[in-house]
Structure 1
Amino acid sequence: MRVLLVTYWELTHMGGIWTYIRQLADRLISLGVEVDIMGTHSASNEVYIRNLNRSFSKNLVWPMLQAKLNPTNLPQFTADSLLAYYELNRYAFEMAAAHLGIEHYDVIHAQDPVAAVAIKRILKRNIPLVTSYHGALAREAFYDAQTSNPQLTLPAYLQSKRGRYFLSLEQRSAAQSELILVSSHWIKSTLTDIGVPASKFRQIPYAVDLPTYRKAAAARFPHRPPAGKKVIAFTGRLEYIKGVHVLIQALARLKTKRSDWVCWIAGEGTLLEELRDQAAKAGITSDIVFWGKLDNIPSFLKHADIYVQPSLQDTQPFSVTEAQLAGVPVIVSGTAGMPEMVEPERTGWVVPPQNADSLSELLQALLQDQATRKAVGAAAKAWAEQHRSLEEMGLRTLQVYQEAIYRGGLST
């Protein structure tokens, strides 16, 4: 079997999604599957097949697309600069993928709705398409919009031109896919709410390569916490949707009650300087360390006492699973797929989303209760090791491919 894993987005800067693609590819290869990986390299503006060292520059077709899709010929198309940019890039991605060649695969596994729609438009034969929904595109776009318009509501956004555009991508990609892979009940519900049949879904939780994780965790992290300080940790992209600004708000409140902690934040993103400024204005600059991008998160997490995932929306972040495997008690926001990752007060805690007061109060309680932290961390580690097997994820995904081939054959 030959499989193409493809994403419209920047391939290796996708955080947990890149981890998913890389681990899935390795596992499928171990099962005898031939796997290619296609994605975008933004610095060179290329679409490329990673393991074959083949690429196509979108710059070659960009002038032609701009000439065709211009305000004079298509005023409605170009009225919204963001949507026009998305569409121009999607067309360029389609042309690049067609040039690189996609007709020789047995299954194409898209990692986002944009890639799914693009690939389906250029297929010349009935190759089964499986699409993974790692998040809710329209809702993620809403949170991006909310950064500049805090009063914006989700219902209002979904009824706007932009909201309808992103919803249409989700609906079209779902309709064109033989099967849909999701990791949580939440992401499935967001799609059934827009009319996707429940029969199309196959739920397979994200997994971690446990031997590789343990090897990485055995390495020494070159820094240690200050004496007498417990570490509150976060790892991930520094973007609005990840809610790090809520964590900093909670830490500012916590500082008024106790100072026996330090917050370690690993990751990079567009909000780094804004988050530094927020910490400075709150008077907690010396209590937060921004480590930037780290190559070994398991080693980093060995020093954590509490892990916080304050995301406004997150399906099932790898960072939470990595913290659980490190035996660190986790706190997650009660939104999207995150509550499905913990059993409250046994393997972690759930706090109301965007509620800095609740998060601060829970941190205060946990900092002074080592016995609870140890017990919950141990239970979380045991649960993750039992339920996050990469071997099972690979086998179940291969079964989905085989089912998609069968269903595709029936439809011809």
Structure 2
Amino acid sequence: MKVLLVTYWELTHMGGIWTYVKQLADRLIALGVEVDIMGTNGANNEVYVRNLNRAFSKDKVWPMLQAKLNPTDLPQFTADPLLAYYELNRYAFEMAAAYLGVDHYDVIHAQDPVAAVAIKRILNRSIPLVTSYHGALAREAFYDAQNSNPQLTLPSYLQSKRGRYFLSLEERSAAQSELILVSSHWIKSTLTELAVPESKFRQIPYAVDLPAYRASAAVKFRQRPPAGKKVIAFTGRLEYIKGVHVLIKALASLKNKRSDWVCWIAGEGNLTDELRAQAASTGIGADVVFWGKLDNIPSFLRHADIYVQPSLQDTQPFSVTEAQLAGVPVIVSGTAGMPEMVEPGRTGWVVPPQDVDSLRELLNALLEDDVTRRTVGAAAKAWAEQHRSLEVMGLRTFQVYQEAIYRGGHTI
């Protein structure tokens, strides 16, 4: 079996899609599957097949696309610059993928709706398409918009031109996919609202390469926490949807009660400077350390005492599982797929999303209670090791590919 794992987005950003793709590819290869990985390299503005070192620059087709999709001939198309930019990039992605070649695979596994729609448009033969929904595209776009317009509501956004555009991508990709992979009941529910048939879904939780995780965790991190300070940690992209601004607000309030903590933040993103400024302006600039992108998160988490995932929306972030495997008690927002990752009071805690006061009070209580932190952290580690096996995830995904081939009447 020859499989293409493909995403419209950047491949190697710190975060979930790359972790998923890399680990899945390794497991599939162990099962005897030939795997290619296609995605975008933003630094070079190219689409590339990572493992084959083959690339196509979008700069080659960008001027032609801009000339064809221009305001004079297509005023409605270009009226919204964001949507026009998305469409131009999608067309460029399609042309690059067609040049690189996608017709020789037995299964194509898209990692997002944009890639699924793009690939389906350029296929010259019938190939089963499996699509993973790692998030809810339209809802993520809403939170990006809410960052600059706090009064914006989700229902109004989903009814807007932009909201309808992103929903249409989700609907089209679901309709064109043989089968759909989801990691949580929540992401499945967002798609059933779009009238996607129940029979298309296969739910497979995300997993972690446990031996590789343990080996990474055994490496000593380059710095120890300050004496007498407990570490409150976060890892991930520094973007509005991740809710780090909520964590900083809670920490600024917590500082009025106690100062026996430091917050370590690993990651990078377009809000890095803004979050640094927020920490400084609220008086906790010296208490929050921004580490940037780290290559060894398990080693980093060895020093964490509490892990917080304050996202406004997150399906089932790898960062939470990594913290659980480190034996660190986790706090997650009660939104999207995150509550499915913890059993409140036993393997972690859930706080209302964007509720600064609730988060502050819980952090304060946990900093006081060493026994509870250790007990819950140990239970979370045991749960994650039992339920997040990469071997199981890889095998079940391979079986989904076989089913997609069978359902489509194909043979290998």
Band of TM-score, shorter chain: over 0.9
Partner residue, 1:348 = 348
One-letter code aligned to 1:95: M
C-alpha distance after superposition, 1:140-162 (max 9, x if no partner):
00000011101000000000000
For 2:312, the equivalent position in structure 1 comes to: 312
CA distance in 2, matches of 1:266, 1:51: 27
Query: Which residue of structure 2 aligns with residue 323 of structure 1?
Result: 323
Partner of 2:231: 231
- 8 Å contact kept, 2:14–2:293: no
Q: How much has 1:104 moved relative to structure 2?
A: 0.5
Q: Counterpart in 2 of 1:147? A: 147
1:127 aligns with 2:127: yes
Q: Secondary structure at the match of 2:37?
A: strand
Q: Which amino acid aligns with 1:200?
A: K
SS of the residue 2:26 aligns to: helix
Counterpart secondary structure, 1:265 = strand
TM-fit CA distance, 1:362: 0.2
User: d(CA) in 2 for partners of 1:408 and 1:19?
Assistant: 29
Count of residues in correspondence between the two structures: 411
Match of 2:100 in 1: 100
Q: Does 1:295 align with 2:295?
A: yes
* SS, match of residue 147 in structure 1: helix
Q: Which runs of 4+ in 1 moved over 6 A?
A: none
Give me the whole-angstrom Cα distance separating, in 1, the residues matched to 2:14 and 2:250: 27
Alpha-carbon distance in structure 2 between the residues aligned to 1:45 and 1:294: 24
C-alpha separation in 2, matches of 1:107 and 1:137? 23
Q: How far apart in 2 are the matches of 1:281 and 1:103?
A: 54
1:110-158 deviation line (CA, Å, top 9, x unaligned): 0000000000001111100000000000000000001110100000000
SS at match of 2:108: strand
2:221 aligned partner, one-letter code: F
Q: CA deviation at 1:339?
A: 0.2
Amino acid at match of 1:167: L
How far the C-alpha of 1:365 sits from its partner, in A, is 0.4
Question: Does the 8 Å contact 2:6/2:109 carry over to 1?
Answer: yes
DSSP 3-state at the match of 1:171: helix
Q: CA deviation at 1:22?
A: 0.2
Where does residue 338 of structure 2 map in the other structure?
Answer: 338
Alpha carbons of structure 1 residues 368 and 325: separation in structure 2 relative to 1, 3 Å: same
| Separation in structure 2 between the aligned mates of residue 130 and residue 228 of structure 1, nearest angstrom | 50
Structure-2 separation of matches of 1:53 and 1:279: 41
- Is 2:236–2:266's contact at 8 Å kept on the other side of the alignment? yes
Q: Deviations over 1:348-376 (max 9, x none)?
A: 00000000100000000000001000000
Matches within 5 A, 1:374-389: 374-389=374-389
Q: CA deviation at 1:14?
A: 5.2
TM-score (norm 2): 0.99
Amino acid of the structure 2 residue aligned with 1:377: G
Amino acid at match of 1:13: H
2:240 alignment partner in structure 1: 240
Corresponding residue of 2:20 = 20
Cross-structure match for 1:408: 408
Q: 1:41 and 1:225 mapped to 2: Cα distance?
A: 35
SS in 1 for 2:359: helix
Q: Which residue of 2 aligns with 1:52?
A: 52
Shift of the alpha carbon at 1:194? 1.3
Map Cα deviations across residues 149-201 of structure 1 (whole Å, 9 max, x no partner): 01000000000000000000000000000000000000000000111111100
Once the two structures are superposed, the pairs formed by residues 1-400 of structure 1 within 5 Å of their partners are 1-13=1-13, 15-400=15-400
2:268 alignment partner, SS class: coil
Q: What is the CA-CA distance between 1:13 and the residue it aligns to?
A: 1.1
Letter in structure 2 aligned against 1:271: L
Q: Which runs of 5+ in 1 are unaligned?
A: none
Three-state SS of the structure 1 residue aligned to 2:380 is helix
CA contact (8 A) 2:14 2:236 kept: no
Structure 1 residue matching 2:245: 3-state secondary structure = helix
Q: Deviations over 1:55-104 (max 9, x none)?
A: 11111111111111111111110110110110111111111111111100
Stretches of structure 2 that go unaligned for 5 or more consecutive residues are none
Alignment partners' CA distance in 2, 1:44 and 1:230 = 41
SS at match of 2:96: helix
SS of residue matched to 1:152: coil
Name the SS for the 1:102 alignment partner.
Answer: coil
Q: TM-score, normalising length from structure 1?
A: 0.99
- SS of 2:238's equivalent in the other structure is coil
1:306-331 Cα deviation digits (max 9, x unpaired):
00000000000000000000000000
Corresponding letter in the other structure for 1:155: P
Quick one: distance in 2 between partners of 1:376 and 1:259?
23
Q: Matched residues in 2 for 1:81 and 1:127: separation? A: 34
Deviation at 1:410, TM superposition (A): 7.2
SS at 1:409 equivalent: coil
- Secondary structure of the residue aligned to 1:47 is strand
* Cα deviation code 1:375-406 (max 9, x no counterpart): 00000000000000000000000000000000
Aligned CA-pair RMSD: 0.9
Amino acid at match of 1:246: V
The residue type equivalent to 1:7 in the other structure is T
Distance 2:276 2:54 in 1: 40
